[in-house]
Copies of this chain bind each other. A is one copy, B any other.
Amino acid sequence: MTRTELFENIKKKGSFLCVGLDSSLDKIPAFLKKYDDPIFEFNKAIVDATYDLTISYKPNLAFYESMGIKGMISLEKTANYIKKTYPELFLIADAKRGDIGNTSSMYAKAVFEHMCFDAVTVAPYMGEDSVSPFLQYKDKWVILLALTSNNGAFDFQFMEDKSGEKLFEKVIKTSQKWANQENMMYVVGATKSEMLTDIRKLIPNHFLLVPGVGAQGGSLEESAKFGMNDTCGLIVNSSRGIIYADNTEKFAEVAREKAIEVQLEMKDLLKGKGV
């Protein structure tokens, strides 16, 4: 998917919401367990109930891997279902991969060839040759970890060099040599939205994937205030706050209500910015 297509979809839907499909057997409604593939049924119901309010879905691969082969089947079925039924949606593999060059190529093959994802999250620690294999695919995206939403972000990401440049800033700056705003985005956690002003000085035009709104305590309003640009420039993720809002037979309906709440706020924020 191109940057233009993504932005068109944001304008059309008045939304920059990504729903995180962090689906696990111990959290989905119990009645779904009568199905052969409860996780797929859960995801399908969530997507069917929210697709018109979102621009993106983001399964986190850890949840599927934790269920072994069965989980990987649920993941493939989910990705295929979304891409076939709602091709305009931006499908993110939240995988945080990264390895030496010939190995990263294999990870890229997994998410972009074997599966039909539009984008993958990548960890920057191993540098250029661990990231560049993911950039060899036309209209596919790398979403590089810059400033994550968790407490552990303070362990290394804020390390400063002699000039005062922080590690996450160095990651953003250095990776500009490998990619551009048409094939790279950055993860910037909503829990650290006060840093967005500085980050926008480095990358005014890039899209940012913003996790941490909702269960992790980040604010949508703050993220938009400091991070939104002329083409929106934000994909804000909410996982638990939407998909696990209810665990009765009405779970999809309640997920829709929660998504509507977020989408209405997003519509206002886009309007306020003149997008």
Contact = CB atoms under 8 A, between A and B. Distances in A.
A203 interface: no
A68 interface: yes
A148 interface: yes
A160 B157 contact: no
Contacts of A94: 99
A62 B104 contact: yes
Contact of A126 (B73, B106, B148, B170): B148
Interface in A119-133: 123-131
Given A63-B106, A65-B107, A100 B149 contact: yes
B103 A67 contact: no
B157 A125 contact: yes
Interface stretch (A37-45, A83-91, A109-117, A227-235): A109-117
A127 B98 contact: no
A69 B64 CA distance: 12
Contacts of A62: 97, 99, 103-104, 106-107, 110
A219 interface: no
Interface of A: 22, 24, 60, 62-63, 65-69, 72-73, 76, 94, 96-101, 103-104, 106-107, 109-110, 113-115, 123-131, 145, 148-157, 159-162, 167, 170-171, 174, 216
